[in-house]
């Protein structure tokens, strides 16, 4: 058996950039074999894998579009078969936001947002839990958003998707707790990534005024909490929604 086969498997959707990249690196440093998912940023995902392996960790590319249930089922079936083990950890991090006022919300933008942010996480969870249930172990971690808890003008579709993830996860926690599978939600606040880099200075200052801790977080702040939920140190925690938001929503 190879070294990587002995390590528990962790799939990080959207592992190519931002928060997903930090999560991939942290889980690899904690001893997981990380499946770094991407949809279009293959080169960036490859760099994440190279950074991990260069520092003694283990990882591989795992490209698929989370919004395609067929692609999700095929990919998870393929990797778990190849490694002869179920996923130990699934991090549903892939996400997009298409901002705009409700009156101008196009059907196609609503569909895209729900397809990736909500249905994508549901497809991946459904596919991952088949093996987790048989193993009677597994940790599913959803990366939702503080916007799913508090709402935000101009982000109605995104907040609907991210709030949906919370109800979904609570149901999964109730359904699968007796099979040893845990499911929790992290709701990040304002994290410095490509998703937030296009905000104007005025928007950033407005956000900062409402953050009691007074600073923008780094992707690693989210990754550290993912690592805790992925580990047995959190073995009695399921169905919870944990804000990593500097106090933005209390
Ligand atoms: N940044 C924040 O302040 C913040 C706050 C709260 C919540 N979040 C949430 O945290 C998560 C990560 O955000 P981020 O800021 O790191 O975003 P980001 O830098 O824009 O990265 C998004 C990631 O999602 C992947 N992705 C998008 N569509 C996909 C698809 N259909 N299938 C597979 N992967 C897909 C992207 O991969 P490709 O490039 O390959 O498409 C990329 O790796 C998101 O769910 C976001 O909603 C972020």
Sequence spans of domains, the chain: 3-241
- Residue 114 and residue 174: Cα distance in Å, rounded? 23
Cα–Cα separations (whole angstroms), residue 120 to 34, 168, 184: 19, 12, 16
Q: How far is the CA of 187 from the centre of ligand 1 (A)?
A: 13
Q: How far is the CA of 115 from the centre of ligand 1 (A)?
A: 13
Q: How far is the CA of 165 from the centre of ligand 1 (A)?
A: 15
- Which contiguous run of DSSP H or E holds residue 77? helix 69-83
How high is the pLDDT of residue 1?
Answer: 42
188 Cα nearest atom in ligand 1 = 6
Indicate whether residue 131 lines ligand 1 (CB < 6 A).
Answer: no
Indicate whether residue 191 lines ligand 1 (CB < 6 A).
Answer: yes
Phi and psi, residue 52, nearest 5° = -65, -50
Q: How far is the CA of 178 from the centre of ligand 1 (A)?
A: 31
Active site residues: 158
Q: What's the pLDDT tens digit per position in 165-197?
A: 999 999 999 999 999 999 999 999 999 999 888
Q: What's the pLDDT tens digit per position in 112-170?
A: 999 999 999 999 999 999 999 999 999 999 999 999 999 999 999 999 999 999 999 99
- Residue 52 and residue 44: Cα distance in Å, rounded? 13
- Which contiguous run of DSSP H or E holds residue 176? helix 156-176
pTM of the model: 0.97
Q: What average pLDDT score do residues 86-109 get?
A: 98
Indicate whether residue 119 lines ligand 1 (CB < 6 A).
Answer: no
> For the domain bounded by 3-241, which CATH number is listed?
3.40.50.720
Cα–Cα separations (whole angstroms), residue 140 to 51, 53, 89, 108, 183: 24, 24, 6, 29, 5
Indicate whether residue 40 lines ligand 1 (CB < 6 A).
Answer: yes
């Amino acid at each position: 058996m190879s070294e990587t086969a002995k390590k528990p498997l962790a799939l990080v959707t959207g592992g190519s950039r931002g928060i997903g990249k930090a999560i991939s690196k942290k889980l690899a440093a904690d001893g997981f074999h990380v499946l770094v998912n991407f949809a279009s940023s293959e080169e960036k995902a490859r760099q994440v894998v190279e950074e991990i392996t260069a520092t003694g960790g283990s990882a591989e590319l795992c490209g698929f579009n989370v919004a395609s249930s067929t692609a999700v089922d095929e990919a998870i079936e393929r990797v778990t078969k190849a490694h002869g083990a179920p996923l130990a950890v699934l991090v549903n991090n892939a996400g997009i936001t298409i901002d705009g006022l409700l009156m101008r919300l196009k059907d196609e933008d609503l569909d895209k947002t729900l397809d990736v942010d909500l249905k994508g996480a549901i497809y991946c969870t459904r596919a991952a839990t088949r093996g987790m249930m048989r193993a009677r172990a597994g940790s599913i971690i959803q990366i939702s958003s503080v916007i799913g808890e508090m709402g935000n003008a101009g982000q109605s579709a995104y907040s609907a998707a991210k709030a949906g993830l919370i109800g979904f996860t609570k149901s999964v926690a109730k359904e699968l707790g007796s099979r040893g599978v845990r499911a929790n939600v992290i709701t990040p606040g304002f994290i410095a990534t490509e998703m937030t880099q296009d905000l104007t200075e005025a928007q950033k200052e407005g956000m900062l005024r409402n953050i009691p801790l007074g600073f923008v977080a780094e992707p690693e702040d989210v990754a550290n909490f993912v690592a805790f939920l992925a580990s047995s140190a959190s073995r009695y925690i399921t169905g919870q929604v944990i804000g990593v938001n500097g106090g933005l929503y209390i």
